[in-house]
Amino acid sequence: MDNLFDLPSEYKELRTSVRALSEKEIAPFAQSVDEDHRFPQEAANALQKAGLSAAHVPTQYGGDGADALATVIIIEEVARVCGASSLIPAVNKLGSLPLIMGGNEEQKQRWLPQLVSGKGFSYCLSESEAGSDASALRTKVERVGDGWVLNGSKKWISNAGISEFYTVVAQGEPTLGSKGITAFIVEKSDPGISFGAPEKKMGFRGSPTREVYFDNVKLGDDRRISEIGAGFALAMNTLDHTRITIAAQALGLAQGALDVAARYSHERKQFGKEIFDFQGVQFMLADMAMNIEAARQLTYAAAVKSENNEKDLRFFSAASKCFTSDMAMRITQDAIQILGGYGYVSDYPVERMMRDAKLTQIYEGTNQIQRIVMARNLPGS
Ligand code: COS
């Protein structure tokens, strides 16, 4: 029983090194990235240099072979200082996991080393009329000769325009519903692909979110990474693994906010003493830390289930994403409350963290969808 809930030393060392890198090379730019709505290029460079932008890629394709828990720790530590930067490793995992799970050897050899070399990989599922109801997607793929022709558009695509590669799920046989959907890889250089204007977002402002348009994009059959009609199951199964990375982001944002609030509570003096000395503030800090630790245990347990592909993964990934993002929303608000007026202005990072935390309750499936997934996959059922 010894150390059952203690992280093995290699994960602790990973946390220490990613934290050091994040504080030195990512945190100094987090505010300007947010204020200027600009891609966090400094973070992209630092993560790339350290082999952290796509560490999940198996070693035979040039990656670090970071397991699901290691990937969670990387994303958590980057999010602790900058949410937008943490989307770099998160989006790269989301975009490439369908290839890793569904692609053949030749396809993996073709794209994964390029991902490791710094070319991003985005995931295109959502559309303007197909969000929670993902299988209602209308982007159309038609068989033409030996290949395929893609037409339609995708919405809310993270890092669109920055990424070189896009996993796209498209409908080939509408009468079959979700069984008519197939998954493909589209490259930014393919004729017929274009991008909308960046969305003006509340948070995660450093990460561009754009529409992606496909106008008669011609694809060979070597771009198909699922069996014909198996694209929806592949897309959903991908989310079972990657919703945990959103939990990791939320965890990092909450921890970052707690760290700022705890430090501030010792610096700020009112009524002749540190505000930490007031029991009301102590109770808030204690509740924040308690909730973060509970979320961390759930998220790490979900990551291990992802790595081992355990049968209750679907429940655990939805639960970790839902619980942790709801928790992060409350904790970041409490952090602002502790900082008072200073929390409400951008001199301190907690208002940015709250704006970022809001999205973790929405993307990769709203928390209402997570509850549907949980209810359909109750533990023990
Ligand atoms: N893994 C593998 N297959 C899955 C699956 C999963 N996690 N979830 C569903 N499927 C399969 C089902 O087994 C079913 O196949 P069968 O008919 O052979 O059983 C098929 O897909 C359709 O499933 P279901 O009927 O459950 O689909 P619904 O239309 O009811 O939708 C939800 C299910 C709502 C859970 C799904 O649409 C969803 O997750 N929506 C949110 C999408 C999302 O997260 N979007 C964010 C964009 S990504 S950034």
Q: Express each pLDDT in 322-343 by its tens digit.
A: 999 999 999 999 999 999 999 9
The answer on pLDDT for 3 being more than 90 is: no
Domain count, the chain: 3
C-alpha to C-alpha distance for 2 and 47, rounded to whole angstroms: 34
Q: Is the CB of 207 under 6 A from ligand 1?
A: no
Angle between helices 105-116 and 83-102 (to 10 degrees): 160
Residues 131 and 251 in one domain: no
Q: Is residue 181 part of a domain?
A: yes
Closest CA to 114 of 53, 198, 73, 25: 53
Percent of the chain exceeding pLDDT 90 equals: 98
pTM comes to: 0.97
Distance 133 CA to ligand 1 centre (A): 9
Do residues 94 and 242 touch, judged by C-beta distance below 8 A? yes
Strands 193-195 and 209-219: antiparallel
**Cα 52 to averaged position of ligand 1 atoms, centre (Å):** 30
Find out whether 77 and 70 touch, Cβ atoms under 8 Å: no
Question: Computed over its alpha carbons, how large is the radius of gyration of the chain?
Answer: 21
- The burial of 279, by beta-carbon neighbours within 10 Å (0-12 exposed, 13-18 middle, 19 or more buried), is given as exposed
Our answer to whether residue 211 is catalytic in this structure is no
314 lines ligand 1 (CB under 6 A): yes
Can you tell me which atom of ligand 1 is nearest the CA of 136?
A: 29
Instruction: Tell me what pLDDT residue 5 has.
Output: 86
Residue 1 lies in a domain: no
Query: Which residue is associated with the tokens 């990072």?
Result: 349
Mean pLDDT, residues 20-33: 98
Look up the CATH number of the domain holding residue 318: 1.20.140.10
CATH of the domain at 223: 2.40.110.10
| Residue 228 CB–ligand 1 contact under 6 Å | no
What mean pLDDT do residues 160-173 have?
98
* Same domain for 92 and 134: no
Give the β-pairing of 273-274 and 269-270.
antiparallel
pLDDT in tens, 256-290: 999 999 999 999 999 999 999 999 999 999 999 99
Distance from the alpha carbon of residue 269 to the mean position of ligand 1, in angstroms:
52
Cα(100)–Cα(327) distance, rounded to whole angstroms?
A: 31
203 and 260 part of one domain: no
**Nearest residue (CA) to ligand 1, atom 21:** 233
Ligand 1 and 239: CB distance under 6 A = yes
Find the 236 Cα to ligand 1 centroid distance in Å. 5
92-120 per-position pLDDT tens digit: 999 999 999 999 999 999 999 999 999 99
Range of the domain at 372: 233-376
